[in-house]
């Protein structure tokens, strides 16, 4: 353990978080605390047979909560995955969800608990105005969230991302009660992540913090959280890549992921508004896509963010103001094995018009310091491919 004592805590901001190595042992108790008697564990296909998933099911079974799993969740889940998850939830007579995994498993698990007994279609609850008030509050089931990656921070979010399979548009489905009742953040669960996923999810956390920090909206609490989140990723992502079993560094990355998701209440920006359509059309890894487009977006926003990033660079121990920060990001990415261009992810120029149109409409676009237009997004894409 590190010299400052074990990295462990019980936090109620922004959700009830049981943080620390080994705390997956408390899974049955977390279900009890959430008022769940018959949970359905929802995760993605890649985790179905993983030892950590089987252990979670063992713990639920030993606690008297049965052993039910739904794992037909693709990396960018859509309404068909949701429909299948709800069918499994109803068939098993479940009364709550354990959302388990990375962003896709967490998002879909939260949405199954939300939508299982709603009468309106899921698209009626997109994060627009007060659309969430259309939902039947009393019909929403509780969920317990257990992240197994350190990236999206979906465990502390009040929304889930769902791709519309007809239009390939990623929609953000929002309701305050989608926020998990209890979160278990056990960094040991992330030790088995493949290096590529460790980097991709870690860069997602970095992108959340970076865009929130640069967003022009006023939210000083998020601003402070974003800044410390950047530092935690800078200092710890190289450590977990070098030693996947460094539990302290894994803990700091797990904190950074949750912090990024809290911070982006302040807004996101062009990194995400480009990454969402690219991911929806080409099925690329979200965090990796964020990392690829990050330097081009920094340059694009430079006039509006140079002073802010000079302050951030100072805090992070990076010399040279904006330029120093930019060079750090380029070097950091390269050292972690992130591709330089979107072409490496299979993205070509043939669908630029479509991506640019979707990017301008994306909910993240409003937080970008420079107003996005179809024209300037196409220029940005050109710099990324």
With cut-offs at 50, 70 and 90, classify the pLDDT of residue 299: very high
Q: Which residues pair with 321 in a beta bridge?
A: none
Is 5 or 173 the better-scoring residue by pLDDT? 173
Q: Would the pLDDT of 1 be above 60? A: no
Q: Would the pLDDT of 97 be above 80? A: yes
How confident is the model at residue 75, as a pLDDT? 86
With cut-offs at 50, 70 and 90, classify the pLDDT of residue 277: very high
How confident is the model at residue 12, as a pLDDT? 74
How confident is the model at residue 2, as a pLDDT? 46
Q: Read off the pLDDT of residues 121-163 as tens digits, 9 standing for 90 and up.
A: 999 999 999 999 999 999 999 999 999 999 999 999 999 999 9
Neighbours of 87 (CB within 10 A): 13
Instruction: Tell how strand 159-164 and strand 169-174 pair up.
Output: antiparallel
**C-alpha–C-alpha distance, residues 289 and 311, integer Å:** 26
How confident is the model at residue 159, as a pLDDT? 94
Q: Give the 3-state secondary structure of residue 17.
A: strand
**C-alpha–C-alpha distance, residues 153 and 365, integer Å:** 20
CA atoms within 13 A on the CB side of 5: 2
Q: What is the DSSP letter of 212?
A: H
* Positive or negative: CA dihedral 191, 261, 267, 373: positive
With cut-offs at 50, 70 and 90, classify the pLDDT of residue 4: low
How confident is the model at residue 13, as a pLDDT? 78
Q: Which residues pair with 112 in a beta bridge?
A: none
How confident is the model at residue 168, as a pLDDT? 86
With cut-offs at 50, 70 and 90, classify the pLDDT of residue 314: very high
Torsion angle of C-alpha atoms 127, 129, 130, 136, degrees rounded to 10: -30
Max distance between CA atoms of the chain, in angstroms, equals 59
**C-alpha–C-alpha distance, residues 344 and 354, integer Å:** 19
**C-alpha–C-alpha distance, residues 33 and 274, integer Å:** 39
**C-alpha–C-alpha distance, residues 231 and 316, integer Å:** 6
**C-alpha–C-alpha distance, residues 258 and 232, integer Å:** 11
With cut-offs at 50, 70 and 90, classify the pLDDT of residue 20: very high
Tell me the average pLDDT across 7-16: 83
Q: Read off the pLDDT of residues 198-237 as tens digits, 9 standing for 90 and up.
A: 999 999 999 999 999 999 999 999 999 999 999 999 999 9
With cut-offs at 50, 70 and 90, classify the pLDDT of residue 357: very high
Tell me the average pLDDT across 328-332: 98
Mean pLDDT, the chain, integer: 95
> In whole angstroms, how large is the CA radius of gyration of the chain?
20
pTM: 0.94
Angle, to 10 degrees, between the axis of helix 286-300 and the axis of helix 302-316? 110
Q: Would the pLDDT of 115 be above 50? A: yes
């Amino acid at each position: 353990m590190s010299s400052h004592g074990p990295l462990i805590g019980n936090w109620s901001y922004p959700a009830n978080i049981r943080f620390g190595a080994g705390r997956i042992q408390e899974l049955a108790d977390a279900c009890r605390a959430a008022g769940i008697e018959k949970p359905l564990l929802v995760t993605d296909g890649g985790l179905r047979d993983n030892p950590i998933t089987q252990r979670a099911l063992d713990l639920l079974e030993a606690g008297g909560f049965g052993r039910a799993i739904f794992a037909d969740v693709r990396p960018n889940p859509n309404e068909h995955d949701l429909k299948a998850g709800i069918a499994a939830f109803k068939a098993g007579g479940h009364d709550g969800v354990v959302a388990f995994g990375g962003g896709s498993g967490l998002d879909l698990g939260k949405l199954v608990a939300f939508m299982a007994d709603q009468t309106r279609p899921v698209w009626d609850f997109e994060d627009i105005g007060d659309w969430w008030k259309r939902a039947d509050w009393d019909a929403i089931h509780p969920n317990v969230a257990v992240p197994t990656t350190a990236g999206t921070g979906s465990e502390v979010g009040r929304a889930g991302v769902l791709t519309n399979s007809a239009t390939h548009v990623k929609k953000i489905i929002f309701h305050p009660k989608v926020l998990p009742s209890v979160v278990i953040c056990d960094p040991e669960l992330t030790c088995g992540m493949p290096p590529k996923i460790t980097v991709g999810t870690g860069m997602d956390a970095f992108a959340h913090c970076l865009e929130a920090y640069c967003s022009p909206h006023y939210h000083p609490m998020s601003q402070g959280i974003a800044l410390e989140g950047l530092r935690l990723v800078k200092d710890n992502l190289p450590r977990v890549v070098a030693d996947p079993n460094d539990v302290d560094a894994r803990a700091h990355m797990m904190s950074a992921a949750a912090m990024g998701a809290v911070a982006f209440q302040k807004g996101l920006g062009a990194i995400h508004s480009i990454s969402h359509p690219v991911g929806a059309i080409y099925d690329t890894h979200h965090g990796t896509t964020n990392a690829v487009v990050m330097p081009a977006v920094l340059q694009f926003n430079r006039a509006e963010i140079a002073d802010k990033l000079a302050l951030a660079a100072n805090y992070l121990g990076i010399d040279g103001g904006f330029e120093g920060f930019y060079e750090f990001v380029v070097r950091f990415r390269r050292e972690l094995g992130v591709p330089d261009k979107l072409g490496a992810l299979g993205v070509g120029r043939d669908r630029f018009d479509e991506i640019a149109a979707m990017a301008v409409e994306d909910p993240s676009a409003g937080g970008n310091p420079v107003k996005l237009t179809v024209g300037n997004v196409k220029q940005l894409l050109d710099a990324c491919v």
